[in-house]
Chains A and B, each alone.
Chain A
Amino acid sequence: MDPKNVIICRCEDVTLADLYELFEEGYQTFEELKRIKRVGMGPCQANTCGKMVQWEIAKYFKKPLEDVKFQNTRPFTLGVKLRSIKEGADDEN
């Protein structure tokens, strides 16, 4: 299958071809890929694409999967409306 047609990150529309292009330019880590192409930065927070990105890095650079670092995991796990956070804060006060 043409890597241009393989969507890796569904939130930010990043294809496998996009990843290959970055690999060829010398970007080798999840954190770098994320910053240039936004892979893993969308609403799902890499819950969908994270493992696939890790696999592709491992395959391309011929490293064992366990040596490929996952991206920094940051809050939130799930999107929450600002209004809900404010109402929660009001309830506590």
Chain B
Amino acid sequence: MRTEAKYVIIGGGISGLSIAYNLANKGEKDIVVIEKDYFTAGATGRCGAGIRQQWGTRLNCLLAKKSIEFFEKAQDILDYDGDIEFKQEGYLIIGSNDEEDEMFDANVKLQNELGIPAKKLSKEEAKTIVPYLNTEVVHSATFCGTDGHLNPFTMSDAYYKAAKRLGVEFHTYTTVLDIMVEDKKITGVLTDKGEIRTNIVINAAGGYAKHIGDMAGVEIPVYSQNREILVTEPVEKMQGPMVISFSKNIYCQQTPHGAFIMGRGDNREKGYTTESTWQFLDEMATTATTLLPPLGELRVIRQWGGLYNMSPDHQPIISDAKAVKGFYMACGFSGHGFMLAPMTGLLLSEMILGQKPTLPLEDLKLSRFEGKNLAAMEKSVV
């Protein structure tokens, strides 16, 4: 392994790959990505593969909208020989009470102001989009037709191959053991395969971002939590959009491959387990078959868990660190790092290189949590 690099990126998930690609694409050299397992072994490869712009905060809406604009052209921009399986058949967000109905009004207003083509729907209108929706348990809904699906594995592979062609070096199955800091400046990274001297470390470690922050002496206010998910056998196409509900605690979509992916959150303890439980299965099966009855006939073939890395306002932290020069981070995505990755890589590379940012950076920085009340809190999270 090389002993010196300009940039060391920790984490081979979608965020780390996008950061590596964006730095290299801007002409930077000597970029190394360290991944303790295989690519997408963490949250990226475990996520629900959904891409949406229907958010409740301005920041998340803009990050998502600009990311989708990239995904629409990603296959060509990254010159990928596989298929990223991007499909835009929408997200149908189901509400079940008056409180959510009010939230929908406010969210759609904000989204429309920002140019996101979402609309509010009655339950009858929602049924025209997903005909087998059980409207007895639906109050109202919103829909955005340009939201959709993207394959987390092949999308990551596309970034990986493009970055590799631009000269980025990758070390999988390599674990970071420590980060060296002298006079409040980054000086190196120690791995189980040797030491790399560097002045810039980028923490894209997903569920383990806090550990990496601790190694450099940078406190990051995030925690991790297991979220479970399952997949069914593939069947003929029957559902276009992702169906999602915050109050019912479900997201559920049919992938282009034919399988249904569905998941839900729960109030599990904070920590690092990604175990699968029978409680999840019972709850998931009950919710899914109540809201979308024909899905009862589908066979579940696999279940798994993955880590959400939660930030205090459920919005990402894309930031430098005041305490340590040369330490940067992209974490706290609160379950949505995959769909925001294009902007993560672009904004962080602009920040590092001191270029004019595509979006205002202040709202993304770690310093927003210092002492004052949070300006905006994202509630549209499953």
A1 lies within 8 A of chain B by Cβ: no
Measured between beta carbons, the chain B residues less than 8 angstroms from A31 are 37-38, 41
A80→B153 contact, CB < 8 A: no
B299→A43 contact, CB < 8 A: yes
Measured between beta carbons, the chain B residues less than 8 angstroms from A62 are none
B82→A88 contact, CB < 8 A: no
B302→A89 contact, CB < 8 A: no
A88–B302 CA distance with the chains assembled, in angstroms: 18
Given A32-B39, A82-B232, A74 contacting B302 (CB threshold 8 A): yes
B296→A86 contact, CB < 8 A: yes
Measured between beta carbons, the chain B residues less than 8 angstroms from A83 are 285, 289, 296-297
A75–B278 CA distance with the chains assembled, in angstroms: 10
A82→B303 contact, CB < 8 A: no
Measured between beta carbons, the chain A residues less than 8 angstroms from B299 are 43, 79-82
Contact with A along B289-321 (1 / 0, CB 8 A): 100000111111111100000000000000000
B288 lies within 8 A of chain A by Cβ: yes
B282 lies within 8 A of chain A by Cβ: yes
Which of A32, A38, A43, A86 has the most C-beta atoms of chain B within 10 angstroms of its own C-beta?
Answer: A86
Which of B82, B295, B302 has the most C-beta atoms of chain A within 10 angstroms of its own C-beta?
Answer: B302
A79→B301 contact, CB < 8 A: yes
Given A43-B299, A79-B233, A85-B300, A35 contacting B282 (CB threshold 8 A): no
A43→B301 contact, CB < 8 A: yes
A89→B41 contact, CB < 8 A: no
A82–B252 CA distance with the chains assembled, in angstroms: 13
A75→B276 contact, CB < 8 A: yes
B97 lies within 8 A of chain A by Cβ: no
B157→A36 contact, CB < 8 A: yes
Out of B39, B82, B157, B302, which one reaches A45, CB within 8 Å?
A: B302
A61 lies within 8 A of chain B by Cβ: no
Measured between beta carbons, the chain B residues less than 8 angstroms from A42 are 233-234, 301
Count A-B contacts at CB 8 Å. Answer: 80
Q: Which residue of A lies closest to B45 (CB)?
A: A35
A32–B282 CA distance with the chains assembled, in angstroms: 31
B38→A81 contact, CB < 8 A: no
Q: Which residue of B lies closest to A25 (CB)?
A: B161
Q: Tell me how far the C-beta of B231 lies from the nearest C-beta in chain A, rounded to whole angstroms.
A: 8
Out of B154, B257, B300, which one reaches A80, CB within 8 Å?
A: B300
Q: Which residue of A lies closest to B300 (CB)?
A: A80
Out of B45, B153, B154, B285, which one reaches A89, CB within 8 Å?
A: B285
Q: Which residue of B lies closest to A83 (CB)?
A: B296
A86→B257 contact, CB < 8 A: no
Given A29-B38, A43-B233, A79-B233, A85 contacting B301 (CB threshold 8 A): no
A76→B285 contact, CB < 8 A: no
Out of B82, B153, B296, which one reaches A82, CB within 8 Å?
A: B296
Which of A36, A43, A82, A89 has the most C-beta atoms of chain B within 10 angstroms of its own C-beta?
Answer: A82
Out of B37, B282, B288, which one reaches A88, CB within 8 Å?
A: B282
B286 lies within 8 A of chain A by Cβ: yes
A42–B235 CA distance with the chains assembled, in angstroms: 12
B281 lies within 8 A of chain A by Cβ: yes
Given A81-B298, A82-B300, A35 contacting B39 (CB threshold 8 A): yes
A79→B153 contact, CB < 8 A: no
B226 lies within 8 A of chain A by Cβ: no
Measured between beta carbons, the chain B residues less than 8 angstroms from A29 are 38
A81→B297 contact, CB < 8 A: yes
A43–B40 CA distance with the chains assembled, in angstroms: 22
Contact with A along B129-163 (1 / 0, CB 8 A): 00000000000000000000000011001000000
Given A74-B302, A88-B282, A82 contacting B39 (CB threshold 8 A): no
Measured between beta carbons, the chain A residues less than 8 angstroms from B296 are 81-83, 86
Shortest Cβ-Cβ A-B pairs, 5 listed: A83-B296, A79-B299, A89-B282, A85-B285, A35-B153
**What would be 29 A-B contacts, judged by CB atoms less than 8 Å apart?**
A29-B38, A31-B38, A31-B41, A32-B39, A35-B38, A35-B39, A35-B45, A41-B302, A42-B301, A43-B299, A43-B301, A75-B302, A76-B301, A76-B302, A79-B232, A79-B300, A79-B301, A82-B284, A82-B289, A82-B295, A82-B296, A82-B299, A83-B285, A83-B289, A83-B296, A85-B281, A86-B282, A89-B282, A90-B286
Given contacts A32-B38, A82-B299, 10 further A-B contacts (CB under 8 A): A35-B45, A42-B233, A74-B303, A75-B303, A79-B299, A81-B296, A82-B288, A85-B281, A86-B285, A86-B289
